[in-house]
Structure 1
Amino acid sequence: MSTEKNIIPLLVLFILVIATACTQTTEETVAIIPEPVSVSLSDGNFTLTPSTSIVISENTPELRHVADYLSNKLYTANWFYKDVSTELSPSDTSIVLSLEPDASPDHDEGYALSVTPEQVKITARTAHGLFYGVQSLLQLLPAEINYQDPSFIPANFEWTIPAVEINDYPRYEYRGMHLDVARHFFPVDFLKKYIDLLAMHKMNRFHWHLTEDQGWRLEIKQYPRLTEVGGWRDSTLVGKAGSGRYDGIRYGGYYTQEEAREIVQYAADRFITVIPEIEMPGHSSAALEAYPELGCEPEKDYKAQTTWGVFEDIYCPSEETFTFLENVLTEVIDLFPSEYIHIGGDEAPKTAWENSDMAQQVIEREGLEDEHELQSYFIRRIEQFLNSKGRQIIGWDEILEGGLAPNATVMSWRGIEGGIAAAQQGHDVVMTPTSHVYLDYYQADPETEPLAIGGFTTLEKTYSYEPTPDTLTEEESKHILGAQGNVWTEYMHTGRKVEYMAYPRAAALSEVVWSPAEKRDWTNFWGRLQTHFQRLEYLDINAAGHYRGQMPELRNE
């Protein structure tokens, strides 16, 4: 009897050791971010060799595009050029990309990935799903597959992939990242690098913040002064807001329409939709410097702002203003095929309207109660125009003020309350609260970190975010489309600083919006992140390394 009592604890300990070893093996060999819905490891490995072929199930442009993307990725890393064919070779190993109508039912972005020692096969209903399967496949390969200079990789390096079965699909339809290029301007090459990272993390929206008080960044041919004048500011604040110090250097830049189309196509090739933002009615100092007649004080010496914050410059609600904005948006629509056009709507002080005879006449003419309803009238006018062109508006949660435009989608940034209110009214919502997904906030001790705008959002806090509030009913929850990370660039002068602030927090967010909520586990994510840091390093991404190596003590404040 005593012998049995001794054996039982030993058996339990043995089982725990084996289970732990299996878990560690899975984490070490399948370090995919965002985590797939299901992963099942088997024995053996697939080895990529010069004779491995890429085979597609049908010779369609979309399918060949995904295959060529994979072939180029493999060639860039290891000089193994892969011809794409529609015929399997019986003697060689192969990577098969197959469109199958019954694959991943109900999930156009879903895929299945099967790896055996002889073959890798990715199946999906759409090329979009196959593309995400390719992203997971690349993360199954050694991190060195991301190396930008293959000459540093030994000639005898083994490109092995663990035998595995993966079934995967996203939790939310909207998985986004934002970038403000108005406070600081970033070249096209950096935007492409940024978009590549979104694709790697299975994000599908790039919110491009193009206009602001500090600069107008998109060429509008009918109004050339928007970029000739509004695209530049006389100086830039040095240090924190209120420092009173300025560099005295003229700063600016803009994207030509040709460059905008180039970015849109580059993103589309990675199944990412670019959502442009044209701010209105506030955050309009740069535009008003170019065309002061659009303001409520046409004699005022409007200037693109040289510091950060909220300013009283605002478009006046005149017919001339609406004609201007409709003409601008017509050119924007021609450049961006996105269903959504972001119209801002945030931080619009009403002082200029309160003091404007013309604005007050519009309030009286339209039977509006106050300036908040005037903002709603302004937004509704723009919505009607965009709807007439087959587009939808999306705006920050201030567009709720004075009554929400009928078909508007809300980005809830001032906490989650605006998103809850909009969902309860039957409007679609993208959650972007400052508390968890503002990636311009400090991510570690501000005393030792580069200058940031303020706030404090650690990696684990971003990872802990739940986009669907538990106060919503099941029906109301359907209006939560997903979430987005916001990168405001007041204190980001270079692409390297953007990378440092965005990653790895954007990787954490990718898992929040893709992976099942019940699978989210901080310790498991941290383990997979260690391999992911290597990938980012090989991609020359200046990711913040606070969570590299030993796990820090949890801090969610």
Structure 2
Amino acid sequence: MLLSKQICKKLLLSAAVCFLSFSDGVPVSAQQVHIIPKPAEMQVKDGFFRVNKSTVVVLPDKLPASLLLHDMMEHAVAGSKGGTLKIARHDVKKNAIRFVLDKTNPDKATESYSLEVDGKGVTVTSGSDKGLFYGAQTLLQLMSKDGIAFASIKDEPRFPYRGYHLDVSRNFFPKEFIIKMLDWMAFYKLNTFHWHLTDGAGWRIEIDAYPKLTSDAAFRPIADWKTWWDGDRKFVPEGTPGAYGGYYTKKEVREVVAYAASKHITVIPEIEMPGHSEEVFVAYPELSCSGIPYKNSDFCIGNDSTFTFVEQVLTEVMELFPSRLIHIGGDEASKKAWGECPKCQQRMKNEGLSDLDELQSYMIRRVEKFLNSKGRRLVGWDEIIEGGLAPEATVMSWRGVEGGIKAAKDGHDVIMTPGNYMYFDFYQADPKTQPAAIGGFTPVKQVYSYNPMPAELNETEGKHILGVQANTWTEYMPNADHVEYMVFPRLLALAEVAWTPQELRTWADFKPRMNSHVNLLKKGGVNAFTLSDDIEITMAVDTLNRQIKVMFDAEKYPAEIRYTTDGSMPTTASAIYKDTILVKDSAWIKAAIFRNGVMQGTPSEKKVDYHKGINRPIHYNSKLYKGYMAGGMNALLDGYRGGLTYLDGRWQGYLNDLDCVVDMGEKTDLHKVSVRFMQLTGPGVFQPGEVSLLTSEDGVNFTLQQTIKTVVPKEESNLTFQEYTFQGNWKGRFVRLQASEVNNGFIFADEIVIW
């Protein structure tokens, strides 16, 4: 319990100075209440209960969490008055912090609680230990330099599953860091830790029956994952001088599981199969189709030894983890070797399987049957749907929401974890300002915007949505500080998405509370990202009035935003943003936060054009890639510029050349045509080799006007944009743009601007 006490002490010592007050005219008590996640019902009143040396903490008899509650209350007083609180098992009516177990409540598993603070003290009531625990977390957040704000709270979670996932295969993190993460998960009322223990970069859990998994496949010669992964990917034996890696002993696993249980957190282990298993075949190559180390990534499903291995490993895992759900991965299996493997082909013939998807489903179903026989249930990534879903499997929907919707409609339980909202390995601010990440762009506002309950589901189907989870994949996170930087404060947004009723959640309400908690996290020893100085510039195209509305937002609060519309650098003399900006032709907007007369960071900018081409018909001569038809067929002519990620709904992606024709409706004077492309080589997005402008009066005979080559090297891995701008004096009804794909990847464009 020592680490917990240390964190609690830091947390309570900082609470007196960290919670910021932002609203003039609001009672002081209400200004200092910044609870995350926001309770289901809360009324803050005027006044504070002040803890002193005579205050008593009243705990129910035989409360398993009593020691934990004692620690919290002890440090609450130690931080403010230099003393400790007395603990009582009999009821005390005045000057008391009372935890009351409501024995009349028939639901002993409830997570709900009520909390009342008045001049007599504090009363937290619940029908379960778990509810009292969550009430204690809220109580901690009510504490301020003036005392505990008078409040009346009735609270319960929106979803029963509130999860956080950490990958420890790509980079390994010690037990002490896992404990620290559990502390903060509990503080924000998350209740499930998904521990990604095995993957192609290393096996991280001790298995007695297969000792070579950790002796031969848990260490690599160098620490940097990317260098190793891009190189020969060879492992080295445990004990090799200078080797990087590690694994958790069974003793350590038991300690983590027990500690999590004391925080009412369930730990779900993940043992990857059939893919992402390269490391297994270094230790036991006979379990792959080739029988050769470093050649295959998928288990040989035709080999009976595979199932002997899987069942023995899962048996030992289940002895360590009491969780009802056991995660078996199931994602991104290449399946290639199965098509060439005689054993796999024979398995397909014997079982009457028609394709490789069904072969994977065979393995998933067989493993599920084994887990069910032990009283457990299988959970896997949404690829387990392919080839037919195992009867009682739970699906984690990560490739968007479609897999989760399908599974729920088919009667399967679902945990929503779509990558474009819930992947904390994506960039959280402009990549130019951030350490290297895997790609994507998921700022805290986007995390907060997610609603895990799909509108497509009816009430019965919706009951299968168990909850929501965020995932941290650690390819680019070499140490614990880096993980904390990527996770916090996005974890706070996750917590509120998972707990708070949807109708109570607004970004404007969350933002001040989040800002106060960033200070709290920093003072509590967390290397949290201190929020971006970037300005989010959004647009709304108003075709009725032929104008574009431009709005600004910032993560930091409060924020003085100054801007220009002519492309010049904002200064202290520039306009202060107060309301929507209207653009009826063109503007080059630059905006920045100013604090004490000094610009923070670099300005955010966006070109805005209500141009001649908006909503004109467009015809594609080239093949569109249906996976990235963002905004529909007319997205290149809707007036909206894209942002920092190709997943923002504004960028259109093409696997081949782009060749499109815009019909202006009549012969038109043309002076300027431009189109912008993105490059981010990690996910295979490149600039085109060149872009050409052609014009025509009849739509049949086209004249080449100009060709512009890219100036961005294909080796440039950072997020980069190039706008191809054609200027001249032409006449024509039809405007044709051709962009050549030359790097065997995607090309992404956001808007064709025609003047």
TM-score after normalising by structure 2? 0.65
Structure 1 stretches of at least 4 aligned residues deviating more than 4 Å after TM superposition: 20-27, 102-107, 236-249, 551-556
Are the counterparts in 2 of residues 27 and 524 from structure 1 also a CA contact under 8 Å?
no
Shift in Å, 1:21: 4.9
CA distances 1:242-264 after superposition (whole Å, capped 9, x unpaired): 97699996321000000000000
Instruction: Give the whole-Å Cα distance in 1 for the aligned partners of 2:158 and 2:278.
Output: 39
Which moved further from structure 2: 203-212 or 77-86? 77-86
1:28 match: 31
- Residue 294 of structure 1 aligns with an amino acid whose one-letter code is L
Are the counterparts in 2 of residues 412 and 433 from structure 1 also a CA contact under 8 Å?
yes
Are the counterparts in 1 of residues 29 and 45 from structure 2 also a CA contact under 8 Å?
no
What SS does the corresponding residue of 1:262 show, helix, strand or coil? helix
For residue 356 of structure 1, the aligned residue among 336, 341, 355 is 341
Shift in Å, 1:370: 1.1
Higher helix share: 1
Instruction: Give the whole-Å Cα distance in 1 for the aligned partners of 2:75 and 2:447.
Output: 30
What SS does the corresponding residue of 1:543 show, helix, strand or coil? coil
Are the counterparts in 2 of residues 178 and 485 from structure 1 also a CA contact under 8 Å?
yes
2:299 match: 314
Q: How does 1:427-506 map to 2 (within 5 A)?
A: 427-506=412-491
Are the counterparts in 2 of residues 219 and 227 from structure 1 also a CA contact under 8 Å?
yes
1:95 match: 97
2:141 match: 139
Higher strand share: 2
2:662 match: none
Q: How does 1:467-546 map to 2 (within 5 A)?
A: 467-546=452-531
Q: How does 1:371-450 map to 2 (within 5 A)?
A: 371-450=356-435
Instruction: Give the whole-Å Cα distance in 2 for the aligned partners of 1:43 and 1:25.
Output: 7
CA distances 1:83-118 after superposition (whole Å, capped 9, x unpaired): 32112456x611000011456979800100000122
What SS does the corresponding residue of 1:129 show, helix, strand or coil? helix
Are the counterparts in 2 of residues 240 and 453 from structure 1 also a CA contact under 8 Å?
no
- Residue 284 of structure 2 aligns with an amino acid whose one-letter code is Y
Instruction: Give the whole-Å Cα distance in 2 for the aligned partners of 1:322 and 1:247.
Output: 26
Instruction: Give the whole-Å Cα distance in 2 for the aligned partners of 1:119 and 1:179.
Output: 39
CA distances 1:380-407 after superposition (whole Å, capped 9, x unpaired): 1100100000000000000001000000
Instruction: Give the whole-Å Cα distance in 1 for the aligned partners of 2:230 and 2:220.
Output: 18
Q: Are 1:347 and 2:340 counterparts? A: no
Q: Are 1:48 and 2:51 counterparts? A: yes
Q: How does 1:230-379 map to 2 (within 5 A)?
A: 230-235=217-222, 237=224, 250-298=243-291, 300-302=292-294, 312-379=297-364
CA distances 1:192-219 after superposition (whole Å, capped 9, x unpaired): 1100110011000000000000000000
Taking only aligned residues, the RMSD between alpha carbons, in angstroms, comes to 2.5
1:11 match: none
Q: How does 1:104-119 map to 2 (within 5 A)?
A: 108-119=110-121
Instruction: Give the whole-Å Cα distance in 1 for the aligned partners of 2:286 and 2:76.
Output: 55
The change in CA–CA distance for 1:23 and 1:106 in structure 2 (over 3 A counts) is: farther
1:15 match: none
Are the counterparts in 2 of residues 443 and 458 from structure 1 also a CA contact under 8 Å?
yes
- Residue 82 of structure 1 aligns with an amino acid whose one-letter code is L
Instruction: Give the whole-Å Cα distance in 2 for the aligned partners of 1:241 and 1:517.
Output: 44
Instruction: Give the whole-Å Cα distance in 1 for the aligned partners of 2:78 and 2:244.
Output: 36
Shift in Å, 1:67: 3.0
Which moved further from structure 2: 461-470 or 27-36? 27-36
Instruction: Give the whole-Å Cα distance in 2 for the aligned partners of 1:371 and 1:222.
Output: 30
Which moved further from structure 2: 412-421 or 96-105? 96-105
What SS does the corresponding residue of 1:62 show, helix, strand or coil? coil
Are the counterparts in 1 of residues 58 and 90 from structure 2 also a CA contact under 8 Å?
yes
Are the counterparts in 1 of residues 169 and 202 from structure 2 also a CA contact under 8 Å?
yes
Are the counterparts in 2 of residues 459 and 504 from structure 1 also a CA contact under 8 Å?
yes
- Residue 347 of structure 2 aligns with an amino acid whose one-letter code is V
What SS does the corresponding residue of 2:251 show, helix, strand or coil? helix
Instruction: Give the whole-Å Cα distance in 1 for the aligned partners of 2:232 and 2:509.
Output: 45
Instruction: Give the whole-Å Cα distance in 1 for the aligned partners of 2:163 and 2:408.
Output: 19
2:162 match: 175
Instruction: Give the whole-Å Cα distance in 1 for the aligned partners of 2:426 and 2:198.
Output: 21
What SS does the corresponding residue of 1:394 show, helix, strand or coil? strand
What SS does the corresponding residue of 1:179 show, helix, strand or coil? strand
Instruction: Give the whole-Å Cα distance in 2 for the aligned partners of 1:390 and 1:502.
Output: 33
For residue 150 of structure 2, the aligned residue among 163, 166, 180 is 163
Are the counterparts in 1 of residues 29 and 46 from structure 2 also a CA contact under 8 Å?
no
- Residue 118 of structure 2 aligns with an amino acid whose one-letter code is T
Instruction: Give the whole-Å Cα distance in 1 for the aligned partners of 2:85 and 2:334.
Output: 58
Percent identity of paired positions between Structure 1 and Structure 2: 46
The change in CA–CA distance for 1:162 and 1:205 in structure 2 (over 3 A counts) is: same
What SS does the corresponding residue of 1:48 show, helix, strand or coil? coil
Which moved further from structure 2: 70-79 or 345-354? 70-79
Shift in Å, 1:26: 6.6
Q: Unpaired segments of 5 or more residues in structure 2? A: 1-22, 236-241, 532-554, 562-590, 592-603, 605-642, 649-755
Q: Are 1:212 and 2:199 counterparts? A: yes
Instruction: Give the whole-Å Cα distance in 2 for the aligned partners of 1:230 and 1:49.
Output: 55
